[in-house]
Structure 1
Amino acid sequence: MIVEIVRAFHMEPLGIHRIGLVSDKSEMGEFLRSRRARLRPEDIGLPVWGRRRVPGLRREEVAHLAGVSVEYYVRLEQGRAEAVSEGIVDAIATALLLSEDERRHLRNLARPPRSLSRAGEPLRPGLQQLLDSMTRAPAYIVGHRTDILGWNAAAVAVFGIDFAELPESERTWMHLVFFDPHIRAIMADVALVAGHIAADMRLQAGHRPDDPELRAMLRHMNERSPEFREYWDTHEVSDFQYGRYVVHHPLVGDLHLDYELLEIPADPGVRALVAYTPAPGTDTARALDSLLNESTSEAKRCG
């Protein structure tokens, strides 16, 4: 059954060519300018006098709200300020009305933490055992680059793709969502998923500035995918821990699946386990049961 499901989607993986990421020296400045441009004086209680030549707040206004000199704030936007204190970062974040994810991103850009990588290492057996025990919930484990490190049979059945057959460079959600015609066809709102990935990768890039593989991947995406670059240039950042996606399944119809991202801090190269479940008693719950029951029966017959 699993083989039939994969064939039913007519999957045609695309190749990836390694190319590289623009310098991130101006990353903090670009982020600050993008957040400044989206605010209006009235958003933060400032009076509006006359016609403004540029959209958003002026540098002088942000500096005043944050309690820093205009010269110092200009250096921040130019990427020339050194040893930025946490207090200043928080003051600027408050002035710009940043969300919690955006505030964390700004802290990472101002005072980047060091990160560890375990590229190429196999998934810890206990984690794969956990995935395999989740027979009724599609689930997989991802790394910090959206790389799919492990998965269960239910995930293969739902997404209609045998992850084991993908080249390692293509076994990432970043590649699949932006380049793979099969995944793009089955996601009911591919623009929503693509935007989520770009915003999440912005956050990861700020948190892991010394990860060369992540930098190379983001450079590749910016140069090869105009769609990704459009999302990337918005400087949106967000950490999507839960939500709902709709999958168009060719055998059982639309599946409305709630996802939960459960972080795994014990393994440096592993980010989280992502599991999908339907709301009880819904058409999706019944369709998923039917799909997984048939998949299990087929696996037993083949085994």
Structure 2
Amino acid sequence: MTDRSELADFLRRRRELLRPSDVGLPDGSRRRTPGLRREEVASLAGVSTDHYTRLEQARGSAPSESVLSAIARALQCDLDERDHLFYLAGMTPPARRAGHYVRPGLIALARRLTDIPVVICTDTGELAWLNPLATALLPPMPGGPGRGRNLMWRWFTEPDHRPAPAEDWDRMSAAHVMDLRATYARRAGDPDITSLVHDLLDESEEFRRLWERHEVAVRRADVKTFLHPEVGAIAVRCEVLITEEADVKLLAYFPLEGTDAAERLDLLRVIGTQRLTSANSQRDAPHVSEITPPHLR
């Protein structure tokens, strides 16, 4: 049921918070009240001024889902405010789609974890950010477009380059597919996840066999071993910080207790720093150790 008075109050207060310059309109000199005019919001949303005015006056017919979405965009509501708007109108908010936006605060947090490998990736496995130690730990990643930076794609289409012991492959492959299953269901119909799954079904018999099991489990933590060509086996405990609103997650790899992983990571840090310094000096270019594709910034 629509809460007309609360809906009207929310719309009016959101409108009054916006300045014309916020939406690309001239400020003008004859504004008696703060914020946008009702006709301006209606125009930005593509609805009639009369319909929007009635909503702010707590009367008239209930808005449709498309009208609510358009008004939320016109009022520059964030996802929480958009959902609140739908609840006030007595409707279920639309599913939150993957924006693949990496919040500055998440990267600021990751940059403080300098003594462990840290990776930020999307819920489909596309790498968005690596700290220097993760760059040294993982196999080389291309910087251009394509699926070369997708961890899920590379795992199933390039099995000879998996950075893990062969005895761990079955367990990790199953975990990858179960986690992707959960994403696929949560974001059903989104083109990025749909195309990735369909292409993997075409390219990998192993993926196809595991997908047909229909097993689902969101991966929030794991224990795994990385095989590095220079340092050897590094056992780590992976903790996953999931930011569901943006469909981005941070993976932090802590050295596993009772192993020599901490010492091996220290050695890897030295090797990685030397390699990057040497490469940069040879090409006379700035040192870049944190990688973020432009479309994910």
TM-score (norm 1): 0.56
**Which of 170, 175, 183 is equivalent to 1:191?**
170
Give the total of aligned pairs: 188
Structure 1 counterpart of 2:23: none
**Which of 182, 193, 205 is equivalent to 1:214?**
193
SS at match of 1:223: helix
Percent of matched pairs sharing the same residue = 28
Instruction: Please tell me whether the aligned partners of residues 224 and 237 of structure 2 are also in contact (alpha carbons under 8 angstroms).
Output: yes
Q: Is residue 227 of structure 1 aligned with residue 206 of structure 2?
A: yes
Q: Distance in 2 between matches of 1:255 and 1:192?
A: 17
Q: 1:282 to 1:288 in 2, by over 3 A?
A: same
Structure 2 counterpart of 1:114: 95
Instruction: Please tell me whether the aligned partners of residues 144 and 269 of structure 1 are also in contact (alpha carbons under 8 angstroms).
Output: no
**Which of 218, 226, 246 is equivalent to 1:247?**
226
Structure 2 counterpart of 1:176: 154
Structure 2 counterpart of 1:200: 179
Q: Distance in 2 between matches of 1:168 and 1:292?
A: 29
- Larger gyration radius, structure 1 or structure 2: 2
SS at match of 2:98: coil
Structure 2 counterpart of 1:78: none
**Which of 124, 139, 145 is equivalent to 2:124?**
145
Runs (4+) of structure 1 exceeding 6 A deviation are: none
Q: Distance in 1 between matches of 2:122 and 2:208?
A: 22
SS at match of 2:124: coil
Q: Deviations for 1:242-292, whole angstroms, at most 9, x for unmatched residues?
A: 111111111111111110101124xx3333101101135632211111111
Q: Distance in 2 between matches of 1:246 and 1:147?
A: 20
> Pairwise CA RMSD of aligned residues?
2.6
Instruction: Please tell me whether the aligned partners of residues 262 and 272 of structure 1 are also in contact (alpha carbons under 8 angstroms).
Output: yes
Structure 2 counterpart of 1:16: none
Q: Is residue 157 of structure 1 aligned with residue 116 of structure 2?
A: no
Structure 1 counterpart of 2:246: 269
Following superposition, the deviation at residue 171 of structure 1 comes to 1.5
Q: Is residue 294 of structure 1 aligned with residue 271 of structure 2?
A: yes
Q: Distance in 2 between matches of 1:142 and 1:185?
A: 17
TM-score (norm 2): 0.57
- Could you tell me which runs of 5 or more consecutive residues in structure 2 were left unpaired when the two chains were aligned: 1-91, 282-286, 288-297
Matches within 5 A, 1:69-148: 114-118=95-99, 123-148=102-127
Q: 1:224 to 1:280 in 2, by over 3 A?
A: closer
Instruction: Please tell me whether the aligned partners of residues 170 and 176 of structure 1 are also in contact (alpha carbons under 8 angstroms).
Output: yes
Following superposition, the deviation at residue 178 of structure 1 comes to 0.5
Q: Distance in 2 between matches of 1:224 and 1:279?
A: 34
Q: Distance in 2 between matches of 1:239 and 1:228?
A: 17
Following superposition, the deviation at residue 172 of structure 1 comes to 1.4
Q: Distance in 2 between matches of 1:292 and 1:171?
A: 22
Structure 2 counterpart of 1:90: none
Q: 1:150 to 1:117 in 2, by over 3 A?
A: same
Following superposition, the deviation at residue 112 of structure 1 comes to 12
Structure 2 counterpart of 1:283: 260
Q: Is residue 167 of structure 1 aligned with residue 145 of structure 2?
A: yes
Instruction: Please tell me whether the aligned partners of residues 118 and 269 of structure 1 are also in contact (alpha carbons under 8 angstroms).
Output: yes
Q: Distance in 2 between matches of 1:144 and 1:185?
A: 20
Instruction: Please tell me whether the aligned partners of residues 177 and 190 of structure 1 are also in contact (alpha carbons under 8 angstroms).
Output: no
Q: Distance in 2 between matches of 1:182 and 1:156?
A: 19
Instruction: Please tell me whether the aligned partners of residues 142 and 148 of structure 2 are also in contact (alpha carbons under 8 angstroms).
Output: no
Q: Deviations for 1:185-207, whole angstroms, at most 9, x for unmatched residues?
A: 54442222211111111111111
SS at match of 1:165: coil
Instruction: Please tell me whether the aligned partners of residues 235 and 259 of structure 2 are also in contact (alpha carbons under 8 angstroms).
Output: no
